[in-house]
């Protein structure tokens, strides 16, 4: 009897613990997390992590959008009644060629006799290239001669044009003979030519915008005669042509800048 009493006293705390555990509410297990993992994390005092979705930034969206855009190609013959795409392309190429011409004529580090040929001289009879008014020759690597004997009355105008040519030239006159000392190539002169190259490029881009604007106006005028999809494709085609030409201008400017500063 005494032995039974001692066993009952030992079992009482264990029975109390079991009953208390049965009275607790069941643990809530988050979706995606197993009960053993949750139990173990609570025992270690660590809160279970919830997987999150990566944040998509505006920049990332813009990049993705740009990558998904495809180029369009419009058949020029199918839209002849709306706009002549070949003429638009020719006008853009003409602007590009004019920029190349400006670079070759006016942005040479070493001044030569040929560099003076296309300097425009304004006279009372109109505007003429210098080589049509005077005979240009190079006396030495350091000096260029312009003989104005054919049009002596235009000597003063020729001197003014040479000074204002942005080629860093300071002509000297001896009667009807203009002597042009070739300046030394300095860092300042190179940097001034780079600035001039940027000015030529910006001027060419303005001309290109004018061509683009005219083309877009022609397309918009045809909205009542062609489908909306055709209008969209034409506008995109013209913009692509503009962007391609601008990219070529930027490449040309970068190459000329590198050439001038080396």
Mean pLDDT of the chain: 78
Predicted confidence (pLDDT) per residue in 38-77, tens digit: 444 444 444 444 343 333 344 444 444 444 467 877 766 6
Q: What are the residue ranges of CATH 3.30.1360.40 in the chain?
A: 113-181
Per-residue pLDDT, 111: 65
Predicted confidence (pLDDT) per residue in 145-162, tens digit: 999 999 999 999 999 999
Q: Model's pTM, two decimal places?
A: 0.59
Q: What are the residue ranges of CATH 1.10.132.20 in the chain?
A: 78-107+186-261
Q: 76 with 85: CB under 8 angstroms?
A: yes
The domain 78-107+186-261: what is its CATH number? 1.10.132.20
Per-residue pLDDT, 31: 45
Give the domain 113-181 fold. Answer: Gyrase A; domain 2 (3.30.1360)
Distance (Å, rounded) from C-alpha 224 to C-alpha 229?
Answer: 12
Question: Average pLDDT for residues 118-145, to the nearest whole number?
Answer: 91
Three-state DSSP state, 149? coil
Provide the token pair at 29: 């297990």
Tell me, what DSSP letter sits at residue 151?
A: S
């Amino acid at each position: 009897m005494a032995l039974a009493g001692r066993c009952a006293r030992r079992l009482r705390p264990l029975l109390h613990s079991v009953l208390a555990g049965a009275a607790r509410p069941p643990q809530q297990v988050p979706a995606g997390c197993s009960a053993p993992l949750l139990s173990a994390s609570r025992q270690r005092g660590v809160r279970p992590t919830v997987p999150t979705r990566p944040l998509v930034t505006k920049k990332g969206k813009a990049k993705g959008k740009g990558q998904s855009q495809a180029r369009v190609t419009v058949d020029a013959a199918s839209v002849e009644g709306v706009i002549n795409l070949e003429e638009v392309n020719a006008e853009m190429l003409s602007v590009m060629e004019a920029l190349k011409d400006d670079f070759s004529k006016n942005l040479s580090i070493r001044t030569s006799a040929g560099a003076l040929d296309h300097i425009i001289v304004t006279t009372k009879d109109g505007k003429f290239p210098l080589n049509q008014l005077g005979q240009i020759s190079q006396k030495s690597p350091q000096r260029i001669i312009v003989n104005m004997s054919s049009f002596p009355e235009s000597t003063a105008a020729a001197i003014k044009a040479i000074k204002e040519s942005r080629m860093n030239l300071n002509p000297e006159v001896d009667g009807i003979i203009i002597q042009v000392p070739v300046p030394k190539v300095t860092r300042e002169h190179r940097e001034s030519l780079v600035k001039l190259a940027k000015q030529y490029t910006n001027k060419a881009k303005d001309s290109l915008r004018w061509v683009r604007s005219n083309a877009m106006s022609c397309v918009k005028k045809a909205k009542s005669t062609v489908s909306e999809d055709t209008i969209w494709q034409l506008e995109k085609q013209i913009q692509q042509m503009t962007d391609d030409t601008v990219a070529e201008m930027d490449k040309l400017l970068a190459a000329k800048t590198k050439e001038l500063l080396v």
